Amino acid sequence: MAADPQLKRRLRGMILRLVYENHEAQKHRLDDVTLTGVLERLQFDAYVNLTRELLQDLKERGLLNFEQERDRTRGSVAIRKIQITPKGRDIVEGTTADPAVDVE
């Protein structure tokens, strides 16, 4: 089931905020599965493939960086070592905005 655009904007914002808070606390970098679990605990209807889609989108926008590993045997992808960019921090801190990212 595809997520509606409003939900995707909210999820992008929440992902960016979670990675920002993780960075500020100088914790280990997040991965896609852990991030999905956190979103679920925050009562979002999230699943790993949606989280990966949104992470890839945030990377294309220059807001996040990460390492993507492909397992050609199983045909799967894993996203690891997610980190926020200066542009991503600016959005979370409110010094700039992106209409596709809803940071409350």
**What are the sequence ranges of the domains in the chain?**
5-93
Domain 5-93, what architecture? Orthogonal Bundle (1.10)
Q: Which residue has the higher pLDDT, 84 or 27?
A: 84
Q: pLDDT tier at 77 (50, 70, 90 boundaries)?
A: confident
- 16-49 pLDDT, tens digit per residue, is 999 999 999 888 899 999 999 999 999 998 999 9
Q: What is the mean pLDDT of the chain?
A: 93
Q: Which of 22, 34, 6, 16 is nearest to 96 (CA)?
A: 16
pTM confidence score: 0.91
Percent of the chain whose predicted confidence (pLDDT) is above 90: 78
